[in-house]
Structure formats: structure tokens, C-alpha cells
Amino acid sequence: MHDHNNRETTILLVEDNEILREALRDLLEALHPDWQVVEAENGLQGIEAAKQMRPDVIMLDFNMPVMNGYEMALSLQARPETSQIPLILNSSEDSTNPLIVRLRTMCSAVLNKPFSLHDLETLFRDHFPQLAASEQPFVPTLHAILA
């Protein structure tokens, strides 16, 4: 992981559904306003973005055009410059699909669609605590405003 004194946390979202990708970006930015959230709409674009940016985490869908999430993960793991970037599978695909089963083993965490803001926050808190260690959580602040 990166030294957060030198640069902000970067999350790469690789999702072909534009509405879901934008919603996910908005949720992540709401939870962690200081994070940079970058988007790609297929696995090939995701690989190119990962090579250029070296994000802290890549959240990817399984079922995408051009290159699916499994193919993308294989390609990332085969490259020294991207092989250590943690992956989060974000998918509604059936877990009995052999490629999904293999992809799950390549990922640090899984976020099943549909998911809630709480699910997203919990995933990052539990699996990537180093990314948000010095930050105040957004949701309690929101509760304080509404109280």
C-alpha cells in the first residue's frame, strides 16, 4: 500500500454498468471524500488504468464486455507492476460459475450485488483498515447532522 502522507488513496472501479459505476463512485466519495476514485468500463480499460496509476485497490465486476473480470484479474496478476494490487469482486453472478469461483480466490474481498452503504463501509473497514486508519467515518457524522 502507498504512504498516505505522500498521496491520496486511489480506488479503481471497473464496471460496465454506467449507473452502478457512478453510484459506487458517489458512495465511495461520500464515505471517504479524500479518496480519488477512478473509473473504467471494461477489463481492458481497467488494466491500462491500473498500469498507469497503480491504485491502492481495484473493485471489479465479473461480467463485462471486451474483457471480463476473471481475464482482467489474470492479466493483472501476470504483471509485476500490478500483481500486488488487492482486488475486490463486485458481482451478482452465480457463485457456482467455475470462473467466479476462481476469481473469488484471487480477490481480497467480495461485495455481492445488491449491496448497501453499510456493506461497502464494512468491507473497506474490515479488509483494508490501513486505507482509512486516520479518517473519521462519514456515516456517524451524517447521523450527528440528522440528530
Contact yes or no for 41/18 (Cβ under 8 A): yes
Q: Which structural domains are found in the chain, ordered by start?
A: 10-146 (3.40.50.2300)
Residue 125 has a CB neighbour count (10 Å cut-off) of 13
How far out from the chain centre does Cα 144 lie?
28
> What is the mean predicted confidence (pLDDT) over 7-29?
91
**Long-range contacts from 83-89, C-beta under 8 angstroms, 24+ separation:** 85/50, 85/54, 85/55, 85/56, 85/57, 85/58, 86/56, 86/57, 86/58, 86/127, 86/128, 87/57, 87/58, 87/59, 87/60, 88/57, 88/58, 88/59, 88/60, 88/123, 88/127, 89/60, 89/62
Nearby residues of 132 by Cβ (< 8 Å), 6 or more positions away: 32, 124, 125
**pLDDT one-digit tens code per residue, 90-138:** 988 667 888 888 899 999 999 888 888 888 888 988 888 887 654 444 4
- The predicted model scores a pTM of 0.83
> For position 132, what pLDDT does the model report?
62
Give the range among 34-43, 76-85, 102-111, 136-145 with minimum mean pLDDT: 136-145
Q: Which range, of 8-17, 19-28, 40-49, 96-105, averages the lowest pLDDT?
A: 96-105
* Per-residue confidence band for 84, with pLDDT thresholds at 50, 70 and 90: very high
Q: What is the per-residue pLDDT across 45-75, written as a single tens digit (0 to 9) for each? A: 999 999 999 999 999 999 999 999 999 999 9
pLDDT on residue 119: 87
* Burial class of residue 94 in the structure, from the number of CB atoms within 10 Å of its CB (0-12 exposed, 13-18 middle, 19+ buried): exposed
CA pair distance 88, 129, nearest whole angstrom: 14
Determine the pLDDT at residue 38: 96
Position 130 scores a pLDDT of 81
